[in-house]
Amino acid sequence: MDGPGGGALDRSPATRRELDVLELVADGLTNAAISTRLGISVRTVESHVSSLLHKRGVGSRRELVDGRVVGDLPHQLDSALRRAPCVGRTGELEQLMTWWDAARSGTMVGVVAGPAGIGKSLLVATAAAQVHASGGRVLFGACTDGPHLPYEPFIAALEHEDVAWSEVPAARWQLLRRSTPGLFPPIADAGPEREVVDPAREQALVMAALHTCLATLAAAGPVLLVLEDLHWASVGTLDAVVHLARAGGAAPLMVLATTRDGPPSAAGASEALTTRLASLATAETLTLGGLDRHAAAVIISSAGSDMDPEQGVRDTGGNPLFLRELARVGPTSQSLRSLLADRFAQLDAADLDVVDAAAVIGARVDPALVAATLGRELADVLDAFERLEAVGVIGVGPGHGQLAFTHDVFHSVRYAALPAGRRMRLHAAVARALGHGER
């Protein structure tokens, strides 16, 4: 695509100063007035306007204003949109956009929950793209499975938004700096550092500072803050999310978080968060379920597979990632193995022996047969199945009192991952337990 004047369109993101200029252009200010407002020369304003015209691929200030977006979509969200289309989530997307419309009149918190692979991140990225296209500012922060700084997703989202920090009272700024050492410079009027006297009060002041920053930023234009993977969040981060919902306010701000609603989760963090938000009028939760056969057919076709969509939904529970990987690669998919590894990592070697024996027996398993196969007491094996149910691998099957893998894909992937020698030994042990092999 060519930009104005026939040159190649510059896809680089707008700078912070260019966005400041763009907002004043949208307000109808001349270059001279913008120069005075921002304290820069008219020639510098002209340079910023010219750069914006080139980056946006338009030829006039009017086109620049009519087609403007605030900032650039965070690359994590843009990457999610490039990996796969959002299929079968029309109603859910409409729900998120309804939340956004409500948030434009006052701050709210929305949570999208569901198991790994169900499409939470893609749905939220799709909504963020619509918000971005409508002129909203989109910020992004994520939690990780491992050590992280206090309030890390908020800091990641806000560290480059200098306009917000200037409105934070000096004492709160000091507290925020101390909670996130090394990330922010001191400010001239903050005064000397003080010792921590009351940790609970200090945490409350830090959360108030975060609220002030976000509200100040939103006062300049609607803001969507995406917080990914809150099932890995620290207690302080979760407290801050709840604080934002409780504090509310008139600022056009929406915090949209994703979290797992089932195992595995980090010490029940996601369940605790949704429970705490449930009674607040400024918070909403959307729990994603599996896709139907029509959406499954689209995913399977895009993967170049002839898998039967109904069978695919039965095997995967309609989980989009499971469907895509099963159709594209089959049960040997490394992505599927990685997802299951998160669950199996919570089990000890004895429980994993039960999983492997069950995988050899079939999608539906008989605890007594597993016990006989492994030479263990039935009560011991039943205790192991309780732990397997807790991590979401085993559940109650369709038959009365029957246990089965939660999804057949769990069975097939675990079976495919067994080394050949171990698989053969387990088959032999099952045969002996059934009385079909040598004793």
pLDDT at 91 over 50: yes
> Residue 162: exposed, middle, or buried by beta-carbon count in 10 A (0-12, 13-18, 19+)?
exposed
**Nearest-angstrom CA–CA distance, 95 and 89:** 10
pLDDT at 197 over 90: no
What amino acid occupies position 349? Answer: A
DSSP 14: P
Q: Tell me, yes or no, whether 95 and 243 share the same domain.
A: yes
Q: What is the pLDDT of residue 266?
A: 42
Q: What is the pLDDT of residue 292?
A: 93
Domain CATH for 210: 3.40.50.300
Q: Tell me, yes or no, whether 62 and 91 share the same domain.
A: no
What pTM, to 2 d.p., does this model score? Answer: 0.68
Q: Do residues 143 and 152 touch, judged by C-beta distance below 8 A? A: yes
Residue 302 falls within a domain, yes or no? no
Q: Which residue has the tokens 């994520």?
A: 142
Q: Tell me, yes or no, whether 341 and 413 share the same domain.
A: yes
Q: Tell me, yes or no, whether 17 and 39 share the same domain.
A: yes
Q: Tell me, yes or no, whether 235 and 130 share the same domain.
A: yes
Q: Tell me, yes or no, whether 149 and 60 share the same domain.
A: no
Tally of domains in the chain: 3
Q: Higher-confidence residue: 110 or 52?
A: 110
Q: What is the pLDDT of residue 259?
A: 92
Of the candidates 199, 230, 208, 216, the residue with the CA atom closest to the CA atom of residue 124? 230
Q: Tell me, yes or no, whether 185 and 166 share the same domain.
A: yes
Residue 309 falls within a domain, yes or no? no
Of the candidates 128, 154, 132, the residue with the CA atom closest to the CA atom of residue 143? 154
pLDDT at 14 over 70: no
- Chain Cα centroid distance, residue 365: 34
Burial 367-379 (b: 16+ CB within 10 A, else e): bebbbbbbebeee
pLDDT tens, residue by residue, 228-282: 999 888 888 899 999 999 999 999 999 999 998 765 444 455 567 888 898 899 9
Of the candidates 310, 385, 305, 379, the residue with the CA atom closest to the CA atom of residue 353? 385
DSSP 121: H
Q: Do residues 403 and 385 touch, judged by C-beta distance below 8 A? A: yes
Domain CATH for 384: 1.10.10
The percentage of residues in the chain with a pLDDT greater than 70, rounded to a whole number, is: 79
Q: Tell me, yes or no, whether 180 and 207 share the same domain.
A: yes
pLDDT at 194 over 60: no
Q: Tell me, yes or no, whether 12 and 42 share the same domain.
A: yes
Q: Tell me, yes or no, whether 114 and 25 share the same domain.
A: no
Residue 269 falls within a domain, yes or no? yes
Residues 58-77: what's their mean pLDDT? 69
Q: Tell me, yes or no, whether 197 and 267 share the same domain.
A: yes
Helices 408-417, 349-361: crossing angle, 10 deg rounding:
110
- Out of 10-14, 208-212, 279-283, 303-307, least confident range: 10-14
pLDDT at 210 over 90: no
Task: Name the domain boundary from 43, 66, 89.
Answer: 66
Q: What is the pLDDT of residue 101?
A: 93
Q: What is the pLDDT of residue 332?
A: 78
pLDDT tens, residue by residue, 333-368: 777 777 777 778 778 999 999 999 999 998 788 899
Contacts of residue 84, defined as CB under 8 A and 6 or more positions apart, other chains included, come to 122, 320, 324
Which range of residues forms the domain containing residue 406? 330-434
Q: What is the pLDDT of residue 247?
A: 92
Residue 245 falls within a domain, yes or no? yes
Cis preceding linkage at 264, omega within 30: yes
Residue 325 falls within a domain, yes or no? no
Return the bridge partners of 109, or none.
255, 283
State the chain's mean pLDDT as an integer. 80
Q: What number of other Cβ atoms are within 10 A of residue 60's Cβ?
A: 10
Task: Name the domain boundary from 258, 287, 316.
Answer: 287
3 state DSSP class of 267: coil
Residue 313 falls within a domain, yes or no? no
pLDDT at 36 over 70: yes
Of the candidates 201, 225, 202, 203, the residue with the CA atom closest to the CA atom of residue 213? 225
pLDDT tens, residue by residue, 127-186: 999 898 888 999 999 988 776 677 888 888 877 665 545 555 555 555 566 555 544 545
Q: What is the pLDDT of residue 372?
A: 93
Q: What is the pLDDT of residue 429?
A: 93
Domain CATH for 16: 1.10.10.10
Q: What is the pLDDT of residue 426?
A: 93
pLDDT tens, residue by residue, 402-421: 788 877 888 888 888 899 99
DSSP 85: -
Contacts of residue 138, defined as CB under 8 A and 6 or more positions apart, other chains included, come to 71, 73, 74, 77, 128, 131, 132, 223, 224, 226
Q: What is the pLDDT of residue 183?
A: 47
Residues 58-79: what's their mean pLDDT? 70
pLDDT at 379 over 90: yes
State the Cα angle at 326 between 323 and 329, rounded to 5°.
Answer: 140
Q: Higher-confidence residue: 2 or 345?
A: 345
Q: What is the pLDDT of residue 262?
A: 61
Q: What is the pLDDT of residue 66?
A: 58
Q: What HEC string does 282-333 produce?
A: CEEEEECCCCCHHHHHHHHHHCCCCCCHHHHHHHHCCCHHHHHHHHHCCCCC
Residue 297 falls within a domain, yes or no? no
Task: Name the domain boundary from 255, 272, 287.
Answer: 287
Q: What is the pLDDT of residue 354?
A: 93
Q: Tell me, yes or no, whether 237 and 274 share the same domain.
A: yes
Q: Which residue has the tokens 């597993």?
A: 370
